[in-house]
Amino acid sequence: MTETEEVPVKALTGRRAELKHAYTLYKQNPVVVAGSIIAVGSIVLALLSNVIVNPNIWQVEQLGQRLCWNNPTFSWPVTNVFDCPGATYPLGTDSWGRNVLQMIILALPLDMEISLTIVVSATLIGVALGSFAAYVGGKVDEAILRVTDIFFALPALVLAIVVMTILGRTIMNLTIAVLIPWWPIYVRLIRSQVLSEKERPYVEALRSTGASPVRILFLHILPNTIYPVIVQMTLDIGNVILTFSALMFLGFSPNPLLPELGNLVTEGISYVFTAPWLIVFPGLTILIVVLGFNLLGDGVRDVLDPRLRR
């Protein structure tokens, strides 16, 4: 009788097991997979946009092709739609004669870049201040909380409008204007996380071994509290795009010709009922990109649920 030999199988332990488990959960959720495809796709399209589309076309007026639509698959119930000379424009042309599809592709890198800048800066500032406030406690904590109260007393868009009024219309000022109402959210988020984590036994153990507060905070507490921040960051990429494209739409952009999704909607305001494609397609792009990041954020939240940890 042959004896079966037991082949030792090396099991995955620790973080590798967590990540594999997380990946399995991720694959099982079709909605999250769709969201991540959209999000990654928009980032890739943004990176490749200067290759796909000539980046100089947004400054040039092509008067012969103003406000025309010649996509045969769909027709609008409006009168006086001009037929475009030459090639087929899939999404029509705008009032300066530029191809709307090319404008949208050119607008993506600017939007993604500004959004990522704002989210990363807000996270860095918020996490630094919030964890400091929570760990130190006392008057410092109280003071930082009161400062965030001031920022929470106004809606984000209103505060951004006030800052833009005072600073003037440039991209840098737009970034600062949206950053200012955004960082207090991260302060509150990380503060509540660190407050509850601070009471854990391992922190007391670390303190009794003589570890410095900075070491405890950055090497031990923060890695355990970072998951909600990552979820919030992913969701905020979409929300920040919504906010600063709203600011651009309201008229705070430095150049009305600038290819940016909110700015493209502004161009279409005077033509709502005569050339609706000017508004429909840029807005649809914002919707799809933000939806992708929101789906991704929801998926990240589901996958990084604390019950997976230990």
Residues that bind another protein (CB under 8 A): 77-78, 146, 149-150, 152-158, 161-167, 238, 242, 245-246, 249-252, 262, 265, 268-269, 272-273, 276, 279-280, 282-284, 286-287, 290-291, 294-295, 298
Which is nearer to another protein, 175 or 245 (by Cβ)? 245
Residue 55 or 283: the one with the smaller Cβ distance to another protein is 283
Pick between residue 46 and residue 164 the one whose CB is nearest to another protein: 164
Q: What is the DSSP string of 246-301?
A: HHIIIII-S-TT---HHHHHHHTGGGTTT-THHHHHHHHHHHHHHHHHHHHHHHHH
The residue (of 219 and 269) whose beta carbon lies closer to another protein is 269
Q: Classify 69 as helix, strand or coil.
A: coil
Q: How far is the CB of 207 from another protein (least distance, A)?
A: 31
Closest CB 276 distance from another protein, rounded Å? 5
- Could you identify the residue written with the tokens 């984590």? 197
Contact present, 119 and 131 (Cβ < 8 Å):
no
Structural contact between residues 142 and 76, judged by C-beta atoms closer than 8 angstroms: no
- Which is closer to another protein, CB of 193 or CB of 294? 294
Longest dimension (CA), the chain: 90
CA distance 273 to 259: 22
Q: How many residues does the chain have?
A: 310
Shortest Cβ distance from residue 281 to another protein (Å)? 10
Tokens coding 103: 């404008």
